[in-house]
A and B are shown apart, each in its own frame.
Chain A
Amino acid sequence: MKQYSYFPGCGLSPEGFGRAFDWSIKGVNKVLDLEFKEIPDWNCCGTVPYDTLHEHASFAVCARNLALAEQIGGDLVAPCSSCYVFLSRTNQYIHEYAKVKKEVEDALAAGGLAYHGKVKVRKVLDVYVNDVGYDVIAAKVKKSLEGLKVACYYGCQEVRPIFGRDHPENPKYMDKLVKALGAEAVNFPLKSACCGGSLIISEEDASLELIKKLLDSAVSNGAEVMITGCPLCQLNVDAYQAMVNRKYKTDYHLPILFFTQLMGVAFGLDEKDLGLKTSIVPVKKALAKFI
């Protein structure tokens, strides 16, 4: 079995807003016979807003996680898109800039650690579809999600051209996953558009407008649920849906799920283990046929 280390990040920690992502990953992993070994004593990935204030210091903070992951061995799985982007960027900067490398090495050495640049950072979905494969996933489906219309929301981070994964504007690998589960991926032109990210805190109006556009596009194309692989996207579109409705006089009730929750439903896992109740917009009605 291929080995992976695992960096949940703050979003997927037991108190985190994306804890259902963590639970459902663990549930799906059991079905797919995978194990992600959590890095012991991991710390903040160093991203927003720290890297915008002290970029170089945040590389050192981030590299501590990479160094610890290197001790475990194998690829490092980072479910959160922000973590994924920043861990990848730290890796890249250490590789490309001698100055960054030196600073990071000095900082790690002070804590008795060393990083040799051997860790490859991955996303959960990347591992599922490329290491496991659509066929295997389809074979594990116990309850086909036939008839369910799904909007696949990739978000803006994991499809960036630098990662070279699929088309940055029109990625398809999550759509294919949905198909493997028996459901239908609806046309969703904003699949890799921005949800506003952490701007929801400082620039609420701008973010609400972006969230509204996502909801408009998904619902007008017939989506009954939206799935994503990014905890920040999930939080924004889920938690701020009511505020969008108030501001724009709309009436959206679109459940926003992690793709692993949907996989769990198709695999026939217990809904409690998938954290379906942690969502703010209720999901039960849309999935009633399958649970």
Chain B
Amino acid sequence: MAPKIGVYICHCGSNIAGIVDCSKVTEFARGLPNVAVARDYKYMCSDPGQNLIKEDIKKLGLNRVVVASCSPRMHEPTFRRACQDAGLNQYLFEMANIREQCSWVHVDKEMATEKAKALVSAAVHRVALQEPLETKEVAMNPCTLVIGGGVAGIQAALEIADAGHKVYLLEKEPSIGGHMAMFDKTFPTLDCAACILTPKMTSVGQNHNIELLAYSELVELSGYIGNFKAKIKKKARYIDTVKCTGCGRCSELCPTSLPNEFDCGLGQRKAIYIPSPYAVPNKAIIDAKNCLHLKGKANGKDVCRLCQKGNEKKGLVGCEAEAIDFDQKDEMVEIEIGNIIVATGFQQFDPAKIYQLGYGRLNNVFTSLEFERLTNASGPTSGRVLLKDGSEPKTIAILHCIGSRDANYHKYCSRVCCMYSLKFAHLLREKLPEAAVYQLYIDMRCAGSGYEEFYERLQEEGVNFIRGKAGEVTDLAESPEEKDRLVVMVEDTLVRRKRRLPVDMVILSCALEPRPDTEQLARILTLSRKADGFFLEKHPKLDPVATTTDGVYIVGCCQSPKDIPDTVAQASAAAARVLALISKGKVEIEAAIANIDEEKCSGCKICIDLCPYKAISFDEEKKVSRVNEALCKGCGTCVAACPSGAIKGRHFTTEEIMAEIEGVLA
């Protein structure tokens, strides 16, 4: 059947029409080969716009459609659906991008109009050769993998599990809880972080639909939406978690003393320990690097084992549950899932990078996370705010924007620091009513429900606000008042003076930054990252939890810095998206994939090694390569590489692409 093409030029309000002369392009399109009708319209994506296409297909008997508008990333599905509604196969539709690739990037109207014509011509030449293709459906695996056991991962896992579906919750650390478990109070309501988080952590441990994979890491991922296969490394814990009762006697017996990660190194733990008072799973773990026995074992010696044997001299028995297993090895497990939610969170910016702030050099300069532990009842000082020498500070300065809003480190605003700094100030006023508290800020950013009110409340509580970014923290005293104290140097931009502020304690409100393993995880999951290093969402406004990899969602601080309410909202949003897919039960597979002509295939296997999706296998009987239609993403690598020209990229055939080029040049 001869091609009968309809061409539709979109104005996109003034987005396109402001630069491109749409009527001229329409006029031009009418003269192109096989074009039966060409129209322009203000908004092609609107209902009336789509109806134009549908009616023309029905009334004029169009068998090909071209829309010249925005990027196909946005509206290709819209127009494909419109074609399909009118009875036209969706692969007989082609889109020309005259917005992102034309009107938005050019200023010369005449030249832009010429370019739009060329792009439309390319699409018209191409669409004439396009063939109808049928999409396939495969079943959706109802299991979900959630990566990261912070508040985001916990929320997403619980929502999906509560709806009756299986969730694997993967956590790199020995316990779930993430950063939130380390916090003291939460802004602006001041409810205790542990009080609201630990019930959720316990629910995770008790939920039969959740399989908790603590102290484990994702190593490899294959497959596609609905049918992923994940390889997971369960790191050796040297504890049989089935037998361990979490009694903690082993820690009492262990002779070592090491900095406790949960307290940011401010407190101590043993080499065999339970990560935190509310750890889930509440099981011991052995720090292999520092365990005397494991260190000795590597050198062929049998030392210590007090946790296992007990200490006879002191009349203490060892682990009665016989849970300690020094021979445990890393274990690889493979799981099959349909969807993945990434909730890997953030890491705190290391302020030691900013030498002049004294962190790591000067005593009593703390990071925000360290202060959370210092003021936390379960922390190393049982919640008392103390200096390194054990005394109480009389003056405290909280320095905002450390590593954030700083061209040298991170340009972005970390969004939560103003608010947690206010929270710190409140806790300090409450615990040390005699102490003076200073906030050194650039701007106060308190956008959120109840946030501005909290700021006002703190002003009334007698906190001193100085508008200025601290330039330096020093211990070089210039007056008797400064002797043996810290001095914060700041330009007070409201009174326009340089000030030296003698204080006893400095808290650095550090930026939230991408975790160091973000790049590695992005590679495993085929995710993109933004310029700031965080994972890239599919659309910043309209699809903020999805990614360009179907079936993989990003939630919480791994997407960008955000507070707990936003994190939880995103986690719920992603859970809802996954549940919708599970309830649909099947997933459509793209038809634009590679296809091998068995007659031409020489069986050289070059394509098999090149395929990034492991979609090609070898048929030993016929000695030809075969494409797994469910795994193929249609990337075209094999098509370009095949020395016999035996592989065709459906919807991207050589003829179609040559026609497209001819169209541009015509």
Q: Do A and B come from one complex?
A: yes
Q: How far is the CB of B168 from chain A (nearest CB, A)?
A: 45
In the complex, residue of chain A having the shortest beta-carbon distance to the beta carbon of B356: A169
A189, B356: Cα distance in complex, Å: 9
Check B476–A217 contact: CB distance below 8 A. yes
Interface residues of B in 472-492 (CB under 8 A from A): 474, 476, 478
Tell whether B409 is near chain A: CB-to-CB under 8 Å: no
A137, B195: Cα distance in complex, Å: 63
Q: How far is the CB of A188 from chain B (nearest CB, A)?
A: 11
- Chain A, 160-173, contact with B by CB distance < 8 Å: what is the 0/1 string? 00000001011000
Tell whether B104 is near chain A: CB-to-CB under 8 Å: no
Tell whether A106 is near chain B: CB-to-CB under 8 Å: no
Check B355–A190 contact: CB distance below 8 A. no
Q: Which of A170, A213, A217 contacts B355 (CB 8 A)?
A: A170
Q: Which of B355, B474, B478 contacts A167 (CB 8 A)?
A: B355
Q: How far is the CB of B356 from chain A (nearest CB, A)?
A: 5
Tell whether A271 is near chain B: CB-to-CB under 8 Å: no
Residues of B within 8 A of A204 (CB): none
Question: Which range contains the number of A residues in contact with the other chain?
Answer: under 10
A213, B472: Cα distance in complex, Å: 15
Main secondary structure of the interface of B (DSSP, over half): mixed
- Chain B, 624-652, contact with A by CB distance < 8 Å: what is the 0/1 string? 00000000000000000000000000000
Check A190–B356 contact: CB distance below 8 A. no
Check B355–A169 contact: CB distance below 8 A. yes
A213, B356: Cα distance in complex, Å: 16
Interface residues of B in 515-532 (CB under 8 A from A): none
Tell whether A205 is near chain B: CB-to-CB under 8 Å: no
Q: How far is the CB of B358 from chain A (nearest CB, A)?
A: 9
- Chain B, 343-359, contact with A by CB distance < 8 Å: what is the 0/1 string? 00000000000011000
Check A216–B476 contact: CB distance below 8 A. yes
In the complex, residue of chain B having the shortest beta-carbon distance to the beta carbon of A216: B476
In the complex, residue of chain B having the shortest beta-carbon distance to the beta carbon of A212: B478
Residues of B within 8 A of A190 (CB): 476
- Chain B, 328-365, contact with A by CB distance < 8 Å: what is the 0/1 string? 00000000000000000000000000011000000000
A190, B476: Cα distance in complex, Å: 9
Q: How far is the CB of A200 from chain B (nearest CB, A)?
A: 20
A213, B476: Cα distance in complex, Å: 9
Residues of A within 8 A of B474 (CB): 189
Residues of B within 8 A of A216 (CB): 476
Interface residues of B in 443-495 (CB under 8 A from A): 474, 476, 478
In the complex, residue of chain B having the shortest beta-carbon distance to the beta carbon of A209: B478
A183, B356: Cα distance in complex, Å: 26
Q: How far is the CB of B487 from chain A (nearest CB, A)?
A: 12
In the complex, residue of chain A having the shortest beta-carbon distance to the beta carbon of B355: A169
A216, B476: Cα distance in complex, Å: 9
Interface residues of B in 539-594 (CB under 8 A from A): none
Residues of A within 8 A of B355 (CB): 167, 169-170
Q: How far is the CB of B409 from chain A (nearest CB, A)?
A: 13
- Chain B, 295-316, contact with A by CB distance < 8 Å: what is the 0/1 string? 0000000000000000000000
In the complex, residue of chain B having the shortest beta-carbon distance to the beta carbon of A189: B476
A167, B355: Cα distance in complex, Å: 9
Residues of B within 8 A of A167 (CB): 355
Interface residues of A in 188-234 (CB under 8 A from B): 189-190, 213, 216-217
Q: How far is the CB of A215 from chain B (nearest CB, A)?
A: 12
A189, A190, A217: most-surrounded residue (chain B CB, <10 A): A189
A152, B285: Cα distance in complex, Å: 48
A213, B500: Cα distance in complex, Å: 15
Interface residues of A in 134-193 (CB under 8 A from B): 167, 169-170, 189-190
Q: How far is the CB of B355 from chain A (nearest CB, A)?
A: 4
A225, B279: Cα distance in complex, Å: 56
In the complex, residue of chain A having the shortest beta-carbon distance to the beta carbon of B358: A189
Q: How far is the CB of B220 from chain A (nearest CB, A)?
A: 40
A160, B355: Cα distance in complex, Å: 14
Q: How far is the CB of A36 from chain B (nearest CB, A)?
A: 33
A169, B408: Cα distance in complex, Å: 14
Residues of B within 8 A of A170 (CB): 355
In the complex, residue of chain B having the shortest beta-carbon distance to the beta carbon of A167: B355
A169, B474: Cα distance in complex, Å: 13
- Chain A, 230-264, contact with B by CB distance < 8 Å: what is the 0/1 string? 00000000000000000000000000000000000
A169, B473: Cα distance in complex, Å: 13
Residues of B within 8 A of A169 (CB): 355-356
In the complex, residue of chain A having the shortest beta-carbon distance to the beta carbon of B354: A169
- Chain B, 204-236, contact with A by CB distance < 8 Å: what is the 0/1 string? 000000000000000000000000000000000
Q: How far is the CB of A205 from chain B (nearest CB, A)?
A: 15
Residues of A within 8 A of B476 (CB): 189-190, 213, 216-217
Q: How far is the CB of A72 from chain B (nearest CB, A)?
A: 38
A190, B356: Cα distance in complex, Å: 11
Q: How far is the CB of A207 from chain B (nearest CB, A)?
A: 16
A169, B354: Cα distance in complex, Å: 9
Q: How far is the CB of B474 from chain A (nearest CB, A)?
A: 7
Interface residues of B in 142-199 (CB under 8 A from A): none
Residues of B within 8 A of A213 (CB): 476, 478
Residues of A within 8 A of B478 (CB): 213
In the complex, residue of chain B having the shortest beta-carbon distance to the beta carbon of A168: B355
A15, B96: Cα distance in complex, Å: 76
A213, B355: Cα distance in complex, Å: 19
A190, B478: Cα distance in complex, Å: 14
Residues of B within 8 A of A217 (CB): 476
A189, B489: Cα distance in complex, Å: 15
A167, B356: Cα distance in complex, Å: 11
A280, B356: Cα distance in complex, Å: 33
In the complex, residue of chain A having the shortest beta-carbon distance to the beta carbon of B477: A216
In the complex, residue of chain B having the shortest beta-carbon distance to the beta carbon of A190: B476
A168, B453: Cα distance in complex, Å: 42
Q: How far is the CB of A120 from chain B (nearest CB, A)?
A: 26
- Chain B, 272-291, contact with A by CB distance < 8 Å: what is the 0/1 string? 00000000000000000000
In the complex, residue of chain A having the shortest beta-carbon distance to the beta carbon of B478: A213
Q: How far is the CB of B600 from chain A (nearest CB, A)?
A: 57
A255, B476: Cα distance in complex, Å: 22
A167, B352: Cα distance in complex, Å: 12
Q: How far is the CB of A68 from chain B (nearest CB, A)?
A: 37
A167, B478: Cα distance in complex, Å: 25
Q: How far is the CB of B185 from chain A (nearest CB, A)?
A: 35
A64, B567: Cα distance in complex, Å: 62
Q: How far is the CB of A53 from chain B (nearest CB, A)?
A: 28
A216, B474: Cα distance in complex, Å: 14
Interface residues of B in 356-411 (CB under 8 A from A): 356
Query: Can you name 11 A-B pairs with beta carbons within 8 Å?
Result: A167-B355, A169-B355, A169-B356, A170-B355, A189-B474, A189-B476, A190-B476, A213-B476, A213-B478, A216-B476, A217-B476
Q: Please give me the 7 A-B residue pairs with the lowest Cβ-Cβ distance, nearest first.
A: A169-B355, A170-B355, A169-B356, A217-B476, A167-B355, A189-B476, A189-B474
Q: Given A189-B476, A216-B476, A217-B476, list of 8 further CB < 8 A pairs? A: A167-B355, A169-B355, A169-B356, A170-B355, A189-B474, A190-B476, A213-B476, A213-B478
